[in-house]
């Protein structure tokens, strides 16, 4: 059985194949949840939301940041590298990059901690008119917002530590 040297990592072909298989599986799972799911979110929403709430698609859509599929794909790819390159010279930088990618993904997923929904004025005016059963001559803007900064930091903490771990790995490898 042959041996390979990858960035200072001595590994047998069998173990490399196992790592690649495990990495691909992990990457696939992460890709599905973190990249494909945000990409298909609007379709899923339209599937589950009742028809009368159709107008809300446009309101909810901005909550799903367009960059999420890309950060999700980056996380999936970096997770593959982490599994394959564990013990190599690149393990530390890849771990730090993985942590940073996850932090970026969480920031985008939480809209930097303060997601908000802005309802179109015409939607509110129409709802008011239907509720009051009379014409309403009001320009009205309704926004729903959340402050999820605390929760976001709780989610980010493991990946902040992951970045620190990657830095420690990189520094210790060089020294």
The closest alpha carbon to 110, from 156, 141, 45, belongs to 156
Residues in CB range of 90: below 8 A, 6 or more apart: 7, 81
Q: Of the two residues 69 and 166, which places its CB atom closer to other proteins in the complex?
A: 166
Report CA Rg, the chain: 23
User: Of 18, 29, 55, 157, which one interacts with other proteins (CB under 8 A)?
Assistant: 157
Q: Which of 85, 95, 77 is nearest to 19 (CA)?
A: 85
CB of 69 to other proteins, least distance (A): 23
Nearer to other proteins, 70 or 119 (CB): 119
Rounded Cα–Cα distance for residues 69 and 83 (Å): 21
164 binds other proteins (CB under 8 A): yes
**Euclidean distance between CA atoms 59 and 23, whole angstroms:** 37
In this complex, which beta carbon is closest to other proteins, that of residue 5 or of residue 175?
175
Please report whether residue 53 would count as binding other proteins according to CB under 8 A: no
CA distance 110 to 64: 9
**Closer CB to other proteins, 77 or 159, in the complex:** 159
Q: CB under 8 A: which stretch of 28-36, 48-56, 62-70, 135-143 binds other proteins?
A: 135-143
Binding site for other proteins (CB under 8 A): 137-148, 150-151, 154-155, 157-158, 161-162, 164-165, 168-169, 171-172, 175
């Amino acid at each position: 059985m042959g041996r390979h040297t990858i960035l200072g990592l001595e590994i047998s072909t069998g173990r490399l194949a196992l790592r690649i298989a495990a990495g691909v599986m992990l990457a696939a799972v992460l890709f599905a949840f973190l990249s494909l799911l945000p990409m298909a979110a609007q379709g899923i929403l339209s599937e589950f939301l009742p028809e009368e709430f159709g107008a809300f698609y446009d309101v909810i859509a901005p909550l799903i940041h367009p960059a999420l599929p890309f950060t999700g794909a980056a996380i999936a790819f970096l997770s593959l590298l982490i599994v394959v390159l564990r013990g190599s010279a690149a393990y530390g930088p890849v771990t730090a990059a993985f942590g940073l990618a996850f932090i970026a993904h969480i920031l985008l997923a939480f809209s930097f901690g303060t997601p908000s929904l802005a309802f179109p004025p015409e939607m509110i005016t129409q709802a008011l008119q239907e509720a009051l059963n009379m014409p309403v001559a009001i320009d009205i803007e309704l926004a729903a917002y959340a402050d999820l900064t605390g929760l976001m930091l709780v989610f980010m903490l493991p990946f902040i530590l992951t970045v620190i771990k990657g830095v420690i790995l990189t520094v210790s490898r060089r020294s």
